[in-house]
Amino acid sequence: MQKILLADDDPGIREVLPLLLSAEGYEAIAATDGEAVLEKWMSP
């Protein structure tokens, strides 16, 4: 399964987009900003 990291400050987008991407076979990891995405990317 491929992962997609996404950053958006809109809580609705962060909630819905991962669901849509999951339905297409992706694992989506959402964060509030670019810094938070990098933290999630670097964590084991």
Write the CA distances from 12 to 5, 31, 43, integer angstroms: 16, 12, 24
Q: Along the 44 residues of the chain, how does pLDDT read in single tens digits?
A: 899 999 999 999 999 999 999 999 999 989 999 899 888 888 76
In this prediction, residue 31 carries a pLDDT of 93
In this prediction, residue 37 carries a pLDDT of 84
Rounded CA separation 1/22 (Å): 10
In this prediction, residue 42 carries a pLDDT of 86
